[in-house]
Structure formats: structure tokens, C-alpha cells
Amino acid sequence: MKEIDQLDQVMKKLRSPEGCPWDREQTHKSLNECLLGEVAEYMDAAEDGDDHAMREELGDLLMQIVLNAAIAEERGAFTLKDVAADVTEKMIRRHPHVFGNEAVQNSQDVIKLWEKVKKEEKKERKSVLDGIPRHVALSQAEKMQKKAAKLGFDWSKQEDIIEKIQEELDELKAELKNGDDIRIDSESGDLLFAVINFIRFRKRHAEDVLADTNAKFSRRFRFVEANMSTNASIDEMEKLWQQAKENE
């Protein structure tokens, strides 16, 4: 495709000695944060139903893909064409009900078939947790819990998870008294994991719940910002915060 080839050439030019110093410095690892940010921006645009923004953010995502492929080509690892060929072949292989002779009745059958084909492809995976992305830890925790739950490693009622949350909170308080930063971080993680488990058990997505809380915080803090005096004290800001809550 002409436009994709042009983008590929642009990214390679930016990586060349005559190109951009910033682009030349980038590695696969250094681009991870940029890639994640672009994904998040596209998700926002899609949720808002903003076609213009979606088009722009998909372009930014495509740019990240092409740039990573250019870096890989420099290393002699693979090319952009290899990436496109591989995913095309995978889509055909994982849709035997479209490109083969398998029969499905509904989307649930499609999911089961997809997982079956995927399992045949990934025979090196020994655990149900294998293959869950390490990045975006909130999503990772939720996926790990769901995988474990399928094997019966799950809570029987949400009240038990609340008790677990309280237990983890008590352990965190104890470590705070001890002043051991490593243990404090560890117990903080355990507490967060337990809270995600509670949300997951209630058939909600932790990412969505946290996103709603982020939006709520944003609304309330923006009210505080708009109404606070210059050099406002924490007491004044707290009063405005409570007012923002009451207004909702």
C-alpha cells in the first residue's frame, strides 16, 4: 500500500544519520511508554465516538508500529512486511470457520475455537497464567485472577474478600509502624491486588472502575481549582472538595 510504504520511508529517514536525534535514540523499550499512551488516547477517542480523533490516534498507533519495525529491521530481526504477513496468516489460521471447514453457531463458539487454535500454537505455555501481558499491571492482575478462578481458585462470596482487604490493610498498617519501605510497598501491592479481586468478583473491570474514580476526582478537583483563592490552605481546599461532593 503506497501510503504505508511512504510512512515506512519517513520513519527510516528519521532514524538515519541525517534524521532526527530523538528518533535515532529510541529503542523498543524506550518507546513502550509512548505506545501505551497512544493506545490510551485511542481508547478515549473511541469511547467518545470522536471519528476525527480516532483517525488521528490510529495514525499515531500505526506510526509507533512502523517505527518499532524500522528499529527491528536495523537489527536484522524482522521487517514491517514480515509483521503484516505474520498477522495476516494468523488471522486466517485462527478463523477456520471462515477460511476453513469448521462450523460455529455464535460468537461464544468463535471464542472457544479461537482459544483452541491459540492453545495449539502456544504449546510451550505450561500455566493458564502464561501469555498474560506484564505491562498495564491493573489489567494483568485481573486477568491472572480470572484465569485462576477458571480452575476453581476463587472466593465463594464477596464478604470474604472484604475480610481479606481488611487483613491486608492491617498488615500494611503494621509495616508502616516498622518503617520498612520494601515491606510497605509489598503490602501496598497485596492490598491493591485484593481490591481488584473484589471488583473482578463483582463482574466489573478494575480499569473501568478506576477510570470512573479518576473522572470523579477530576470533576471535584477542577471545582476546587476554579473556586480556590490564591495560596489557598489545605483547609480551604478541603471545604471546596466537600462542596463539590455535595453538588454531585
Task: CATH number of the domain at 205, please.
Answer: 1.10.287.1080
pLDDT of residue 135: 79
On whether both 143 and 239 belong to a single domain, the answer is yes
On whether both 160 and 176 belong to a single domain, the answer is yes
User: Is 58 in a helix, a strand, or coil?
Assistant: helix
pLDDT of residue 198: 98
On whether both 73 and 93 belong to a single domain, the answer is no
- Do 189 and 171 form a contact (C-beta atoms < 8 A)? no
At residue 120's C-alpha, the angle toward residues 114 and 126, to 5°, is 110
pLDDT of residue 131: 86
What is the pTM assigned to this prediction? 0.80
Residue 218 lies in a domain: yes
pLDDT of residue 5: 96
pLDDT of residue 125: 85
pLDDT of residue 128: 75
pLDDT averages per 10-residue partition of the chain, 248 residues: 95 97 97 93 95 98 98 98 97 96 95 92 86 86 95 97 98 97 98 98 94 94 95 97 96
- Do 214 and 207 form a contact (C-beta atoms < 8 A)? no
Domain count, the chain: 3
Report the candidate in 186, 222, 98, 199 with the shortest Cα–Cα distance to residue 145.
199
- Do 73 and 80 form a contact (C-beta atoms < 8 A)? yes
pLDDT of residue 133: 85
Residue type, 227: N
Domain that includes residue 98, residue range: 79-123
Residues 33/39/45/51 CA torsion (nearest 10 deg): 120
Q: CA-CA distances (angstroms) from residue 16 to 24, 32, 50, 74?
A: 7, 21, 35, 10
Structural domain ending residue among the three candidates 67, 94, 123: 123
At residue 136's C-alpha, the angle toward residues 7 and 141, to 5°, is 150
pLDDT of residue 16: 97
On whether both 66 and 10 belong to a single domain, the answer is yes
Residue 41 lies in a domain: yes
On whether both 85 and 96 belong to a single domain, the answer is yes
Handedness of CA 226, 229, 231, 232 (dihedral sign): negative
What the block records as the C-alpha cell of 220 is 471535584
Residue 85 lies in a domain: yes
